[in-house]
Structure 1
Amino acid sequence: MRATDLIAPTWPLDQSIAVNPWWKFKEQPYLKTAAELKTVANVNGFASSDFFLALFQQGRITQSSLKQAAARVGVNETPEQLVSRLQQQQAPVSLTLFSAQVDNFRDVHYMRWQEEIVHQISQFCAAHFQSLRPMLGKADLEKGAPLYAHWLDVTRVDYGLSIVLSAPKLRKLLNELPSDPEETITKVQQELDIAPDFEEAFALSCLYDIHGWASWVAYREWQNHTPTGDSYFASHVQQGEMRELLAIRMAWEWLVFTYLKRFDVLLFERSVQAWQKQWLKFDEVVETNRAHLQVVQVWQLALEIEYQLQLESAFKGAKPAEHEDRSPWLQAVFCIDVRSEVIRRALESQHEGIETKGFAGFFGVPLAYQPQGSAMVRSQTPGLLSPALRVEEALERHEVRARVERLNKKARIQTWAQAAPSAFSMVESMGLAYAPKLLRGRTLSHVVNDLSHVKNWRVLGSEDTLAASELADIAVSVITAMSFDRFAPLVLLVGHGSQSCNNLQAAALDCGACCGQSGEVNSRVLAQILNNVEVRHLLRERGMQVPAETRFVPALHNTTTDDIELLDELPQHDFPLPIKDVLGKARALAQRERLVRFEPEKSAWNTEALDKLLRKRAHDWSQQRPEWGLADNAAFIMAPRTWTRGINLEGRTFLHDYHAEKDENWSVLTLLMTAPMVVGHWINMQYNLSVTEPLKFGSGNKVLHNAVGGSIGVFEGNGGDLRIGLAKQSVFDGERWLHTPQRLTVVIAAPQAAIAKIIEQHPDLESLINNDWIHLLQWQQGEPLMRFYQGAWQPNSQP
């Protein structure tokens, strides 16, 4: 595969969802990917040797699990030998680009070529892709200037580069570069004498040097190929942008190579000999790295086996539900997000008549939200799917006019604030008006979220409002997928969102299934559909009986404070316990468990102190860690909730309700394995790689973040590559990593034949499982967990 096809996308800040940065490598084994990328890009797919040795000393990895892991990987060594190998073997070797090799020999008082190259490309890309107010070549951008051509125009008139790099004749070389990016790529390959066998490895090394911007270009191309993608990208993305970005980075290698060849022969000869020598050993280095990482993979697998044994032990120790046949009086459907596992247990622990369910947080309604009076359309759908519906608030004309006037007023103030000549006068004139908000520790929430707090919604298809029969189709699909077989008088549809201040990565803490947004809109819209009288009538005609007394109420779980806010009135009913008291107690239980797990020093704090601390974090502008998000996620379980109810899964599992006996043609299981399971894998890999390789796949120090192009992403400081992934503060508390990097363990309660058939029909699933990206286990109560690998089933406890 070409190097330009191997970069995964990164979503913008205001739609931030987790992505596996190595998604495009899934067709090959994880070990091979880790060895190759360590070689060409110096990135780590596994944790350090010290990390695994510490776990061994703590007893979290045992000799037994090491033996089992070694047998599976095919390493014929004892646990003692594996410990010795980990302690003594040298770190893997990485090859470098020519510019980086030159820096190894250059006078340390000079600016490093490689750093300045990344800085220059990054600053240019930030200006080029800044959609709101382009800072460079605005006229060219409006004409649709391609990326490479625009870079060439800008760089040829940049006198500062020659000064910064102490290379006075550099600008003259720029005129020798071809105007066509493909010709530039060919020129670089020929003049740097890149062997055909290494062309793609060299190209990949170039792209990984500016991996953040390569990921952004991959997102633009992803959206451009999505039928209902962002309209901006549909009209602005140039074909072949990734190749043009590659041409830019390769052009810089040619510039450094040619400049030294002509004007600094001694440095050139030293550098080129060392550089060519290392690339001649490419295959040898890859194999050496693979052999090294194979030992590390044994330790990685041993850690994952230990976790799976703990899961299996917990499953065996679970008590059967004593009141399974009793009708519930309260049901709550939560997103499968690992943070909901804790509060679901907290709710259920209060009464046997409380039942919770897990479902993808967009609630099966793939919609895009367009506020009335606005041209903006916001996806509320998982990144792997495209919105099939559009929703808007059902407002009267006078309400829309008032909203437009209010939004225009805000826009004028924002323009005033952002214009260079008037920015200071705006602060002097209006600054005091913001004092109360600053003293309260918060400002207004996102303007679009403010608009969504309405009860009545209009659901539209391609053009017109959906008919009741079409809404009933949605209701049938959702109720079936949620595995409802009985209905409580009150059913809460609990979306989730986070609460923080001064946090550029706030969307990463919201609902990933809603494309980095709060789940409020999806919750409100689905509740309206399911409460619709005409829809209820049509459901009865289709044999789906929803009691007349059942009311679906939208709600929102604040994952920072664990509040559950009811977004509509409760039905009149004599509940065994006051609903708000139940929610309040669940909040207190969840707050304590989640805080103490990540911050054990607070175990002695009382309930009021913990609650006060979390609310302060939600409103604190200086807070770097408002919450821990999905840190330490480890498993995805598809099974009836009755099988896991009462088991403390420690907030580490995605929990999706699934009843195989109701899934006649395995359509629900197919959907779960091809969508939510893959999303869970993406989340898991983003957290893993943000820990194992924070320089490339993490976004660095949150304190130093600066927004790029409005919402494209962040710089750490004022330059360098575009930073993607999680900030260090999201996974590290200052002393220890709070996410354990381990590959996702998927547990499915379904017949083996059905699971195997679905895997066989979907090549992506087959690749993820057979190439060691995820573990897939089958669960049948009372039986050992069975592992599916390379087309066969065997007990998971066997090597």
Structure 2
Amino acid sequence: MSGTSVLTKENVKRKNTKVDFQESDINVLIESASQVIAPLWPISTFAARNPWMGFEKKSFDQVAGWLKDTRDVDIYPSASMIHSAKRKGEIDEAFVKMGLQRWLDTHSFNIPRDVAERFCHASLKLDPLPSNLLTSLKLKKVADEFSGLNMDRIGNYSMQPISSRLKNQDGERVVDILDYHVIKWCKLYLDDSQAGWTMPNREQGFYRAWQSLIQYDPALSKKQRKSLKSWSQEPHMALKEVLFALKIPESEIQAYLEGHLLSLPGWAGMMLWRSQQSGQGHALLTEYLAVRLSLEWALVQPSLPISGQRSEKEVSITSLLAAWIHWGDFTIEEWSQLSAAEQTEYLSFAYRFDEKLRRKLWLEAWEQTHANQLSQKLIAKQPKTKDKQSVLAQLAFCIDVRSEPFRRQLEKEGPFETIGIAGFFGVPIATSELGSNHSHPSLPVMQKPQNRIKEIASKNELNSYQQRRQAANSLSYTFKAMKQNILANLFLPEISGPWLSLQMVSRSFVPRKADRFIHNLRETWLRKPNTKLMLNHVHSTKTEIAVGFSEEEKVNYARQALKMMGLTKNFAPLVVLCGHGSQSTNNPYASALDCGACGGAAGGFNARVLATLCNLPEVRQELSSSGIEIPRDTVFIAAEHNTTVDELHWIYVPELSEAAQEAFDRIEAIMPKVSHNANAERLAQLPNFQSKHKNPKAEAHRFAEDWSEIRPEWGLARNADFIIGQRELTQDCDLEGRSFLHNYDWRQDESGDLLANIIAGPGTVTEWINLQYYASTVAPHYYGSGNKATQTVTAGIGVMQGNASDLLAGLPWQSVMQSDKEAYHSPLRLLIVIQAPKEYVVRLLNNDSAFREKVQNGWVRLASVDPEGHWENW
């Protein structure tokens, strides 16, 4: 999988086993090796993360095999998940049989077809081989006598770290000791103001800061510290020295680095993200590897040299023979009567039709069943075309799957049209709230903000507000400083004890009242004034990006967003742009429940920016000249959909026209019922929801405000498809909150540019979200983050299990599991459905090679619905 080293004869001089390369060579190697991990953002800005983003040029099945061979990680659903889905009616076994026949038809084998089919059908039941059969002495004797098949060296190989093959005197694996040391140094260096004392010499970089302190580390022996004392000052030179000392062959260097990156993919992923943020390439990742391999050298030096650099996959003849006896209805006597050549063919077939392939067939059948059920929902009904003239209000929501049930309930209550668009509304901004000197990117993480938008108020109001805010922040800072001060923390319990005790008791027994009281107290104290947005461009040399928009940018962003929504004519009197966020207490994963399209932030700020732009007379005038005529009495307003309690909160409501006011009042009147129905539908899916509570709204608020609640909402669990088309295609369909919905009208996209932009932007976001949920479900021990109740927030950047684990990159157990034994999320790869003529899809695939690779390699699935309503799988 890793391939051969990217070093060529031109930049590498072979001198026996000596490694002779320059800094540029190691940079190329590390960049290639880093494809096996993914960047990890801090948990405060938790963003959906595709753990396999560097692998998309390989097929999903190739990566599955490589991960199983190198890390013993399964990324196909387990047998128990498959059996559960089958019981729920989520898998049609007819598709399993069809998949099996396709596999048999496309593979050659020299055994009777009926025998092969019987073996495959029996093994597809996914029951384990009986333990008494596998331990049978008679079976082992027959297997040991067999010598006709050379399979002891079959499989993919990887260059595992030398430390993973050694144990110390106490029987502890050396790689575990190495991981412990690396975690300790990563926590010190990456700490984001959580520790009272920062790491000395941190400003010199990770490697040099580590080198200046390692000689004093009491966790290492005197001999180990001495061996590192004279180590090179330059990280790339240190790597060169280590690779030479460990005698790593040049052709294996990249694979060796990959093995080290995969040992702690969370901490390595954070180093990769920081490297990318710094704009210095992979410099920090280079330093990380220099520290890790230097520590490995110190730990393994006494055991060198060791034999067997490769870790190899051995095939058990016993298990293959047991498979034929259990699933092929063979007896040992019948087996013994086969010729050696026949036995070889049978064992080869069992080896090829292994457990991974069996679960792959089940996954594909699961996905095909879902696609079939979805197609029946979408094309079985006659679409209802809503009279655009009678629409009272148009409400644009984020494509987030949690918007779908809310939109459906809203449309039931009146003449309202809902629209789907990515939650950053096409404005690539960094937001700066009132009184803050910092900004937060509010757009998909694969993009960079182009403009910074500040919230402003009058000078007197701003000064007063900043003083109150500074007082509140100073109180928090003082409390933290006292906790970390040797003397002051002796008095802290007496000072803070009564207040904190009262807070703990009230939050535990009356969480709603306590949360409301604390919130109201803070709001009353801060008294944030009414604000405006600084939309006009301000020249500044202090910021990397422009503050405000140019006049041309205002028009372009408004035009592009309206086109993405398909809202270029037939405007209702009121257009509501609805960002979304969440609400929870004592939850490190709070930002994971916010808008994935906004980089782990709420989308209300973006909605307010776009609504303000669309209300500007000069913007409307320019839009009119390009064919987008917004009626004078149409008003854009902004709101935020709180997904935890399914409520709309108004964040920008300018002066309304008479018709817009009528629409606004109508929305306010129906919102309690919409919220009630949406909450009732959503809460019924939560395992800890008590049906005896007759008020879903009250229960939803309890989930949001209870600091002991580990599952305030399901988030985007069970997401399965991304539907790109007109609302009429999905209207009145109960999509069960599993579908991302993006408006698209192919008739307004003759060039195909709109579709291409949707696939490149929202399409990538939804794929990342889908694969993060998928990975956290099928391999929670490697890609998830464990139980929330036992997590530790570390260094202010992420979570660990205990105090010395990898930095956990995925979703917690409570986000994907119904119980300890039952998954809630269905691990299906994203199905993208495009409503457009076939030639539009063909053009998209021809023009977008990256998307074509994702489809061909099985990272996403693709289907289309043509204008006549015909469904086609691609």
TM-score normalised by the chain length of structure 2: 0.79
Q: Identify the match of residue 533 of structure 2 among 452, 457, 464.
A: 457
| 1:749-768 to 2 correspondences below 5 Å | 749-768=835-854
- Distance (whole Å) between structure 2 residues aligned to residue 445 and residue 779 of structure 1: 50
- Distance (whole Å) between structure 2 residues aligned to residue 737 and residue 445 of structure 1: 38
- Distance (whole Å) between structure 2 residues aligned to residue 564 and residue 80 of structure 1: 57
Is 2:505 aligned against 1:429?
no
- Distance (whole Å) between structure 2 residues aligned to residue 58 and residue 430 of structure 1: 52
CA contact (8 A) 2:640 2:648 kept: yes
Once the two structures are TM-superposed, the CA of residue 253 in structure 1 deviates from its matched residue by: 3.2
- Distance (whole Å) between structure 1 residues aligned to residue 594 and residue 194 of structure 2: 28
Is 2:809 aligned against 1:724?
yes
SS in 1 for 2:863: strand
Is 2:669 aligned against 1:581?
yes
> For each residue in 1:4-26, what CA deviation from the matched residue of structure 2 results, as whole angstroms up to 9, or x when unmatched?
24321111122111010110111
- Distance (whole Å) between structure 2 residues aligned to residue 577 and residue 141 of structure 1: 57
Is 2:402 aligned against 1:339?
yes
Q: Identify the match of residue 212 of structure 2 among 153, 163, 166.
A: 153
Which residue of structure 2 lines up, in the alignment, with residue 792 of structure 1?
Answer: none
> For each residue in 1:354-412, what CA deviation from the matched residue of structure 2 results, as whole angstroms up to 9, or x when unmatched?
11000000111111112344321111111111112211123111222223323332332
User: CA 1:220/1:454 → structure 2, altered by over 3 Å: closer, same or farther?
Assistant: farther
- Distance (whole Å) between structure 2 residues aligned to residue 597 and residue 384 of structure 1: 32
Once the two structures are TM-superposed, the CA of residue 306 in structure 1 deviates from its matched residue by: 0.6
User: CA 1:203/1:566 → structure 2, altered by over 3 Å: closer, same or farther?
Assistant: same
- Distance (whole Å) between structure 1 residues aligned to residue 611 and residue 501 of structure 2: 39
Which residue of structure 1 lines up, in the alignment, with residue 571 of structure 2?
Answer: 487
- Distance (whole Å) between structure 2 residues aligned to residue 68 and residue 183 of structure 1: 56
CA contact (8 A) 1:115 1:720 kept: no
| 1:66-81 to 2 correspondences below 5 Å | 66-70=96-100, 78=117, 81=120
SS in 2 for 1:630: coil
Structure 2 residue identity aligned to 1:475: A
Is 2:175 aligned against 1:114?
yes
- Distance (whole Å) between structure 2 residues aligned to residue 409 and residue 341 of structure 1: 42
- Distance (whole Å) between structure 2 residues aligned to residue 452 and residue 629 of structure 1: 30
SS in 2 for 1:665: coil
Which residue of structure 1 lines up, in the alignment, with residue 368 of structure 2?
Answer: 305
Is 2:190 aligned against 1:129?
yes
Mean Cα deviation higher: 310-319 or 529-538? 529-538
Unaligned segments of structure 2, at least 5 residues: 3-31, 108-115, 135-154, 318-347, 507-512, 538-544
Which residue of structure 2 lines up, in the alignment, with residue 34 of structure 1?
Answer: 64
Structure 1 residue identity aligned to 2:76: F
Once the two structures are TM-superposed, the CA of residue 662 in structure 1 deviates from its matched residue by: 0.7
Structure 2 residue identity aligned to 1:622: S
Q: Identify the match of residue 219 of structure 1 among 258, 270, 273.
A: 273
Which residue of structure 2 lines up, in the alignment, with residue 511 of structure 1?
Answer: 595
Which residue of structure 2 lines up, in the alignment, with residue 679 of structure 1?
Answer: 765
Once the two structures are TM-superposed, the CA of residue 436 in structure 1 deviates from its matched residue by: 7.0
CA contact (8 A) 2:81 2:823 kept: no
| 1:762-777 to 2 correspondences below 5 Å | 762-777=848-863
Is 2:866 aligned against 1:780?
yes
- Distance (whole Å) between structure 2 residues aligned to residue 216 and residue 590 of structure 1: 37
Q: Identify the match of residue 500 of structure 1 among 571, 584, 588.
A: 584
Which residue of structure 2 lines up, in the alignment, with residue 471 of structure 1?
Answer: 554
Mean Cα deviation higher: 216-225 or 295-304? 216-225
Which residue of structure 2 lines up, in the alignment, with residue 22 of structure 1?
Answer: 52
SS in 2 for 1:157: coil
Which residue of structure 2 lines up, in the alignment, with residue 254 of structure 1?
Answer: 297
Is 2:680 aligned against 1:592?
yes
- Distance (whole Å) between structure 2 residues aligned to residue 294 and residue 451 of structure 1: 61
- Distance (whole Å) between structure 2 residues aligned to residue 79 and residue 363 of structure 1: 55
Q: Identify the match of residue 99 of structure 1 among 147, 154, 163.
A: 163
CA contact (8 A) 2:453 2:547 kept: no
User: CA 1:126/1:454 → structure 2, altered by over 3 Å: closer, same or farther?
Assistant: farther
> For each residue in 1:495-554, what CA deviation from the matched residue of structure 2 results, as whole angstroms up to 9, or x when unmatched?
111100011110010011111111121111212122223333333343322122222221
Is 2:420 aligned against 1:354?
no
Once the two structures are TM-superposed, the CA of residue 42 in structure 1 deviates from its matched residue by: 2.6
User: CA 1:447/1:653 → structure 2, altered by over 3 Å: closer, same or farther?
Assistant: farther
- Distance (whole Å) between structure 2 residues aligned to residue 102 and residue 778 of structure 1: 53
- Distance (whole Å) between structure 2 residues aligned to residue 289 and residue 429 of structure 1: 69
CA contact (8 A) 2:554 2:613 kept: yes
Once the two structures are TM-superposed, the CA of residue 191 in structure 1 deviates from its matched residue by: 4.2
CA contact (8 A) 1:706 1:718 kept: yes
User: CA 1:65/1:500 → structure 2, altered by over 3 Å: closer, same or farther?
Assistant: same
Mean Cα deviation higher: 698-707 or 684-693? 698-707
SS in 1 for 2:201: helix
User: CA 1:718/1:547 → structure 2, altered by over 3 Å: closer, same or farther?
Assistant: same
User: CA 1:585/1:247 → structure 2, altered by over 3 Å: closer, same or farther?
Assistant: same
SS in 2 for 1:472: helix
Mean Cα deviation higher: 60-69 or 637-646? 60-69
Structure 1 residue identity aligned to 2:779: E
- Distance (whole Å) between structure 2 residues aligned to residue 280 and residue 579 of structure 1: 63
> For each residue in 1:691-713, what CA deviation from the matched residue of structure 2 results, as whole angstroms up to 9, or x when unmatched?
11112211122123332222x21
Structure 1 residue identity aligned to 2:218: Y
User: CA 1:16/1:446 → structure 2, altered by over 3 Å: closer, same or farther?
Assistant: farther
Once the two structures are TM-superposed, the CA of residue 753 in structure 1 deviates from its matched residue by: 2.3
SS in 2 for 1:332: strand
- Distance (whole Å) between structure 1 residues aligned to residue 205 and residue 281 of structure 2: 7
- Distance (whole Å) between structure 1 residues aligned to residue 248 and residue 355 of structure 2: 27
SS in 1 for 2:586: coil
- Give percent identity, aligned residues only: 29
- Distance (whole Å) between structure 2 residues aligned to residue 140 and residue 445 of structure 1: 43
Q: Identify the match of residue 426 of structure 2 among 336, 361, 364.
A: 364
Q: Identify the match of residue 438 of structure 2 among 363, 370, 376.
A: 376
Which residue of structure 2 lines up, in the alignment, with residue 796 of structure 1?
Answer: none
User: CA 1:633/1:587 → structure 2, altered by over 3 Å: closer, same or farther?
Assistant: same
- Distance (whole Å) between structure 1 residues aligned to residue 734 and residue 375 of structure 2: 13
CA contact (8 A) 2:199 2:209 kept: no
Q: Identify the match of residue 650 of structure 2 among 561, 566, 576.
A: 566
TM-score normalised by the chain length of structure 1: 0.86
CA contact (8 A) 1:337 1:655 kept: yes
Once the two structures are TM-superposed, the CA of residue 343 in structure 1 deviates from its matched residue by: 0.5
User: CA 1:280/1:732 → structure 2, altered by over 3 Å: closer, same or farther?
Assistant: closer
CA contact (8 A) 2:178 2:296 kept: no
CA contact (8 A) 1:689 1:698 kept: yes
User: CA 1:201/1:464 → structure 2, altered by over 3 Å: closer, same or farther?
Assistant: closer
CA contact (8 A) 2:451 2:547 kept: no
User: CA 1:467/1:202 → structure 2, altered by over 3 Å: closer, same or farther?
Assistant: closer
CA contact (8 A) 2:421 2:565 kept: yes
SS in 1 for 2:396: strand
User: CA 1:454/1:36 → structure 2, altered by over 3 Å: closer, same or farther?
Assistant: farther
Structure 2 residue identity aligned to 1:719: A
SS in 2 for 1:199: helix
Which residue of structure 2 lines up, in the alignment, with residue 797 of structure 1?
Answer: none
SS in 2 for 1:160: coil
- Distance (whole Å) between structure 2 residues aligned to residue 395 and residue 765 of structure 1: 45
- Distance (whole Å) between structure 2 residues aligned to residue 453 and residue 307 of structure 1: 50
Could you say which structure has the larger radius of gyration? 2
Structure 1 residue identity aligned to 2:560: S
- Distance (whole Å) between structure 2 residues aligned to residue 384 and residue 44 of structure 1: 27
Which residue of structure 2 lines up, in the alignment, with residue 408 of structure 1?
Answer: 470
> For each residue in 1:619-668, what CA deviation from the matched residue of structure 2 results, as whole angstroms up to 9, or x when unmatched?
11111111110001000000100111001111001000000001122221
User: CA 1:776/1:576 → structure 2, altered by over 3 Å: closer, same or farther?
Assistant: same
User: CA 1:601/1:656 → structure 2, altered by over 3 Å: closer, same or farther?
Assistant: same
Structure 2 residue identity aligned to 1:339: R
Once the two structures are TM-superposed, the CA of residue 239 in structure 1 deviates from its matched residue by: 5.1
Structure 2 residue identity aligned to 1:643: L
User: CA 1:591/1:781 → structure 2, altered by over 3 Å: closer, same or farther?
Assistant: farther
CA contact (8 A) 1:97 1:206 kept: yes
